[in-house]
Amino acid sequence: MKNKPAFSLPALCLVILSAALPAAAASFDCDRADLAADEKAICDNRALNDADVRMVTTFDILTGLVAMGARGEMQDRQSQWLKERQACGPDVACIKGAYDKRMQQLDEAYKNISRPL
């Protein structure tokens, strides 16, 4: 009778990947030497890093769901929001507020997507 390994391969991969996640946020490389103050704060704070991952994932999904003409508008709003986040500098509370505000906007955009009957 063979001994079964303590972890399955998928579980082991998940453990390895999750250990590497804090080093990089979804929308930028935390290892870059020229990080802006807001980016450094996001890389140094797990909650902000997680908020960045959620926001970018949500934004990417939404841009795939909207009509072609609406994508440009969504991207313009994302660029404007990014400027607002950057204006926070290293202020963690300000950055958190920016992510909360953007997620509310993206949630609203999702609710307003035209769906077939």
**pLDDT tens-digit map of 48-105:** 999 999 999 999 999 988 888 888 899 999 999 999 999 999 999 999 999 999 999 9
How many domains are there within the chain? 1
In-domain check, residue 10: no
Give pLDDT tens digits for 15-50. Answer: 444 444 445 666 899 999 999 999 999 999 999 999
Distance separating alpha carbons of residues 30 and 34, to the nearest angstrom? 9
Range of the domain at 45: 24-111
In-domain check, residue 15: no
The pLDDT value recorded for residue 24 is: 60
Q: What totals of helices (H) and strands (E) does the chain contain, helices first? A: 5, 0
In-domain check, residue 117: no
In-domain check, residue 5: no
